[in-house]
């Protein structure tokens, strides 16, 4: 059985969509699975035994019509038994339409229902102790072929090979515990907890909980990271393992697997840590609905401005509103929650 999974865009989305692959392999071990993803998310898929081939959808395809057409023509030459579009945007809908498959499954939208043989209604509300919505909705994409009674895997995984494990252990061999990975900056300003407030968090962690810190950020964010580093108290600065910051996504995966916890901006870095079953404390951007990305668990904690501000109404915010809510989201509001999280690490 040949299967195509489509999940473009962000690291967290791609990671969670690997659950589709794992459950299909569990249901039908002889299946062969191709996975369409963007270049920057490929490290998440590396070493995954449930994926036979990674197909790259380059970012520039969205603006280069000739390259996009060539990609689509190439897809049209292939044949699959099952196609699952977990992305559901223009590019993936076009790919779904032109790629031959006996069964095509995707999320229901008024403009794409004619593409899929099975259109799935996406869950938008979470009930009680249900799975986080992003996972629940990926499982829903599988129900038309696997059914409701299957014992679904619900924790996505990243896979680290032995060489990566050895390299990470060597890099951290003289580092004392507790060691905390800090998700220092989000993927954009609108997904980044204000740096003046993040400084308070790092100073607090070192002063009160006597931890060592590794700062995770992209090389393109070095200017912002240096501003924060230069603003820290001396004691905090001495507790940061400055030369151990990850220099690639695969390096990050290996290093975070050896940490005691991760704290900081919710996003791909924290979702990777979750897949490694690492205790995590997420600070959510005002525009992100936490119910989609967090499970109720003592080792999985998230904070959002809506928990502290009665004026917060919904997640459809302008850039100005996002920044405004971030500015009033003071560390003191969730300091006790972070303290309780840290006490459970001991």
Task: Return per-residue pLDDT of the chain as tens, 346 residues.
Answer: 999 999 999 999 999 999 999 999 999 999 999 999 999 999 999 999 999 999 999 999 988 999 999 999 999 999 999 999 999 999 999 999 999 999 999 999 888 889 999 999 998 877 666 788 899 999 999 999 999 999 999 999 999 999 999 999 998 988 888 999 999 999 999 999 999 999 999 999 999 999 999 999 988 899 999 999 999 999 999 999 867 778 899 999 999 999 999 999 999 999 999 999 999 999 999 999 998 888 777 789 999 999 999 889 899 999 999 999 999 999 999 999 999 999 998 7
CA distance 327 to 17: 33
Q: Which of 122, 146, 170 represents a domain boundary (last residue)?
A: 146
| DSSP state for residue 9 in the 8-state scheme | S
Our measurement of the distance from residue 45's CA atom to the centroid of its chain's CA atoms, rounded to an integer in Å, reads: 12
In a domain, 125, yes or no: yes
Q: Are residues 245 and 308 in the same domain?
A: yes
Residues 329 and 267 reside in one and the same domain: yes
Containing structural domain, residue 284? 162-343
Question: Residue 51 and residue 329: Cα distance in Å, rounded?
Answer: 41
* Domain match, 115 and 187 both: no
Domain presence at residue 300: yes
d(CA 112, CA 106): 9
Contact 217, 245 (CB under 8 A): yes
> Which of these three, 85, 119, 146, is where a domain ends?
146
Residue 153: inside a domain: no
Q: Are residues 209 and 103 in the same domain?
A: no
Shared-domain flag, residues 225 and 334: yes
Residue 156 lies in a domain: no
Angle subtended at Cα 155 by Cα 153 and Cα 156, rounded to the nearest 5 degrees? 105
> How many CA atoms, within 13 angstroms, populate the side-chain half-sphere of residue 154?
16
Confirm whether 201 is domain-assigned: yes
152: in domain:
no
3-class secondary-structure state, position 6: strand
CATH number at residue 175: 3.40.50.2000
Inter-residue contact 207 to 339 (CB < 8 Å):
no
- The residue out of 114, 146, 178 marking a domain boundary is 146
Question: How many structural domains is the chain composed of?
Answer: 2
The candidate with the shortest Cα–Cα distance to 248, out of 180, 194, 168, is: 168
Length of the chain: 346
Residue 200 lies in a domain: yes
Residue 41: HSE in the Cβ half-sphere, 13 Å Cα cutoff: 26
**What's the confidence (pLDDT) of residue 268?**
93
- Looking at the structure, tell me whether residues 77 and 167 fall in a common domain: no
Distance (Å, whole) CA 120 – CA 136: 12
140 lies in the same domain as 166 = no
Does 126 fall in a domain?
yes
CA–CA distance, 212 with 180 (Å, rounded to integer) = 6
């Amino acid at each position: 059985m040949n299967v195509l999974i489509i999940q473009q865009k962000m690291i967290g989305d791609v990671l969670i969509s690997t659950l589709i692959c794992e459950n299909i392999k569990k249901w039908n071990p002889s299946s062969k699975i191709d996975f369409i993803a963007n270049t920057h998310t490929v490290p998440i898929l590396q070493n995954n035994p449930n994926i036979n081939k990674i197909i790259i959808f380059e970012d520039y395809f969205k603006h280069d019509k000739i390259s996009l057409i060539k990609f689509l023509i190439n897809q049209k030459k292939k044949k699959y038994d099952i196609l699952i579009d977990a992305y559901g945007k223009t590019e993936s809908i076009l790919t779904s339409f032109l790629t031959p498959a006996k069964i095509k499954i995707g999320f229901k939208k008024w403009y794409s229902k004619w593409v899929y043989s099975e259109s799935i209604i996406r869950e938008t509300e979470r009930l009680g102790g249900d799975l986080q919505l992003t996972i629940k909705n990926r499982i829903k994409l599988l129900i038309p072929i696997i059914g409701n009674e299957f014992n679904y895997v619900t924790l996505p995984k990243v896979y680290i090979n032995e060489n990566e494990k050895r390299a990470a252990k060597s890099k951290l061999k003289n580092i004392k515990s507790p060691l905390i990975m800090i998700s220092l900056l989000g993927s954009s300003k609108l997904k980044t907890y204000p740096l003046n407030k993040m400084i308070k968090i790092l100073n607090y962690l070192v002063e009160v909980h006597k931890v060592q810190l590794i700062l995770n950020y992209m090389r393109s964010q070095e200017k912002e990271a240096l501003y924060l580093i230069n603003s820290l108290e001396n004691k905090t600065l001495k507790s940061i393992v400055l030369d151990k910051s990850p220099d690639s996504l695969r390096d990050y995966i290996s290093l975070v697997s050896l940490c005691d916890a991760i704290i900081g901006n919710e996003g791909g870095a924290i979702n990777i840590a979750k897949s490694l079953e690492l205790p995590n404390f997420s600070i959510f951007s005002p525009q992100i609905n936490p119910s989609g990305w967090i499970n109720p668990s003592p080792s999985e904690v998230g904070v959002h401005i809506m928990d502290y501000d009665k004026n917060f109404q919904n997640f459809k915010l302008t850039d100005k509103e996002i920044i405004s809510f971030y500015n009033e989201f003071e560390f003191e509001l969730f300091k006790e929650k972070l303290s309780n999280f840290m006490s459970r690490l001991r």
